[in-house]
Amino acid sequence: MDNTSKRVGVIGGIRIPFCRNNTAYADVGNFGMSVKVLGALVERFRLHGEELGEVAMGAVIKHSSEWNLAREAVLSSGLAPTTPGITTARACGTSLDNAIIIANKIATGQIEAGIAGGSDTTSDVPIVLGERFRKRLLAINRAKGWQDKMAAFTRGFSLKELKPSFPGVAEPRTGMSMGDHCERMAKEWHIGREPQDRLALESHQKLAAAYEAGFFDDLVVPFRGLKRDGFLRPDSTMEKLGTLKPAFDKISGHGTLTAGNSTGLSDGAAAVLLGNDEWAARRGLKVQAYFLDAEVAAVDFVHGEGLLMAPTVAVPRMLARHALSLQDFDFYEIHEAFAAQVLCTLRAWESETYCRNRLGLDQPLGSIDPAKLNVHGSSLAVGHPFAATGARIIATLAKLLEEKGSGRGLISICTAGGMGVTAILER
């Protein structure tokens, strides 16, 4: 952003409680959850009938009929129907990506304000027909007469063709799940079971404390009988976590990733309102923090790099643009896809070899103060509806900076496909 760009304010965010799949939101779907959070944002910031420059929403797992989920949700949100909507997806980074889209449009003066968010459900997933049966149906549709249609239906038909295909969690290039990849990372970086369980426990403890203190009172809107996240376990202990068996590497006897230190399949949605100073002032709205910059990176995980290590590459690029060190932050919001991923990231930044050979730095980025990391808990305790996590983190961090009165926060989100999306907020 150059000197002529507009400052991009984070005005505030809303989310519904995140919950386990096949529970409270099993029959709601992405559209219903998106409408709920957009409507709640409209209510909170008095945006009824307002035309915004853009609403960017996203979903990773969605039906083909939801090709423009954002636009459809806008039409049911209370915003002016003249507000455009765009639907995106970049796995776990989706709604942070959407914030980048909105922020860039505001910074360049294309729009004054917009909403970024995302929704995901692993309850209401699309069920796809097998390839042979799909081609058979297409052939039937192309056939002209009933005899040709019947021939297309019966020729070589097998009942096996009726077996449906469910969305998979494996990386198409490797056939390995994200958990399998992260287990490999944990072994490479020598991340043991105990520190992973400790990080997970602390996430639950910090989230529970934040709820008790009322921090989420204006960030989380009740929905479907839930007032708090369905994953939150305030009574969790190291002993309980220690009883869980490995979830991915179940054979070698050295698996360290479990259901307790990995995020579970989740349903939920979140959204955040962004705008320039003038737009906010005209409506009597306060800016909580400013969106300073962002960076996206990718790694060659197919040929050996850790699938979830791309944020380690993105962050130093972003820091260099602003002559910042890794220690120049008051808060660090590192998405807890797996406790091991967070710990691998931190260890990589501390490694002289990695920072020199992979990042091209003269010295390690160094350590961060653990007291500043995910201070109100993160995905291990909150849950992780893929496309909603970025907006959740932005809203949390912006409020933290507002409460502090000044400062700077770093956001780091790893994604499937070997990518990472990062950003800096400041006040």
Distance in angstroms (rounded) separating the CA atoms of residues 25 and 281 = 37
216 by Cβ neighbours in 10 Å (0-12 / 13-18 / 19+) ranks as buried
Q: What is the CA radius of gyration of the chain?
A: 22
Distance in angstroms (rounded) separating the CA atoms of residues 306 and 341 = 9
Angle between the N-to-C axes of helices 146-154 and 131-142, in degrees from 0 to 180, rounded to the nearest 10: 170
Number of neighbours of residue 25 by Cβ within 10 angstroms: 30
Instruction: Bin 103: left if φ > 0, else alpha if -120 < ψ < 50, else beta.
Output: alpha
* DSSP codes of every residue in 365-397: -----GGGBSTT--HHHH---GGGHHHHHHHHH
Residue 415's beta-bridge partner residues? 419
Catalytic residue among 92, 182, 344, 355: 92
384 is catalytic: yes
Instruction: Tell me the pairing of strands 408-415 and 331-334.
Output: parallel
Number of neighbours of residue 27 by Cβ within 10 angstroms: 11
Angle between the N-to-C axes of helices 389-404 and 94-107, in degrees from 0 to 180, rounded to the nearest 10: 60
* Residue at token pair 């002289």: 352
One-letter amino acid for residue 112 of the chain: E
Catalytic residue among 19, 182, 344, 414: 414
DSSP 79: S
One-letter amino acid for residue 144 of the chain: K
Distance in angstroms (rounded) separating the CA atoms of residues 406 and 288 = 10
At 289, is the secondary structure helix, strand, or coil?
A: strand
Distance in angstroms (rounded) separating the CA atoms of residues 81 and 391 = 23
Number of neighbours of residue 11 by Cβ within 10 angstroms: 23
Closest to 269 in 3D by CA, of 198, 333, 219: 219
One-letter amino acid for residue 332 of the chain: Y
Catalytic residue among 204, 335, 376, 384: 384
Catalytic positions, written as ranges: 92, 384, 414
